[in-house]
Chain A
Amino acid sequence: GIQVEQSPPDLILQEGANSTLRCNFSDSVNNLQWFHQNPWGQLINLFYIPSGTKQNGRLSATTVATERYSLLYISSSQTTDSGVYFCAGVSGGYNKLIFGAGTRLAVHP
């Protein structure tokens, strides 16, 4: 199966700052998702983005499948953005949704 690497592992921001989270894959993917895990452990779907760019409010994501990476942009961060962000992907032929280790984000007022 694929290997999923996320960076940075930890990120501390002041409220209002922008950030970029990265997800690298060891193989090409045909399914890629970004999740936010809130302090209660719930995984919230942010984007389903096998390729291209999507935007939802202050968040946007871009996946470049041919280069095996995806980026999550958070603009004008708020304290409620704190938590862990995971990317997960499925590579062709394996059909297993594999997660990275996550990026732990703390946004301070």
Chain B
Amino acid sequence: EAGVAQSPRYKIIEKRQSVAFWCNPISGHATLYWYQQILGQGPKLLIQFQNNGVVDDSQLPKDRFSAERLKGVDSTLKIQPAKLEDSAVYLCASSFQENTEAFFGQGTRLTVV
């Protein structure tokens, strides 16, 4: 069974530029999560989808971050414009349903210079 796929693996951008990350969850998984993990900290939930609807985005900085999950499968997370403090690993995860076991992709390491 294929795992959660994320791309790109690494990205370096200048501040004020925009960037987008892509996630393909495990086939059949209805719930999709985006997390931000700053160096030395635990992952922080940014947004959670159930199919193509948003369950929670209370921690998403909506003035610069946006996410969508069209057709309830793939998802993209965008940052525009990026700030230095956005440097982090962005992790995507999926689960069959809410409250079931979640599986993570390899993450995208973003460096903003």
Which residues of A come within 8 Å of B, CB atoms? 4, 30-31, 33, 35, 40-43, 45, 48, 86, 88, 90, 95-102
Contact = CB atoms under 8 A, between A and B. Distances in A.
A2 B55 CA distance: 16
Contact of B55 (A48, A95, A99, A100): A95
Interface residues of B, number: 24
Interface of B: 33, 35, 37, 41-45, 48, 55-56, 89, 91, 93, 98-104, 106-107, 109
A48 B43 contact: no
A97 B41 contact: no
Where chain A touches its partner, the secondary structure class is strand
Contacts of B109: 41
Contacts of A101: 41-42
Contact of B106 (A33, A42, A98): A42
Given A43-B91, A96-B48, 8 more contacts: A31-B100, A41-B109, A48-B101, A95-B56, A95-B99, A97-B33, A99-B42, A102-B42
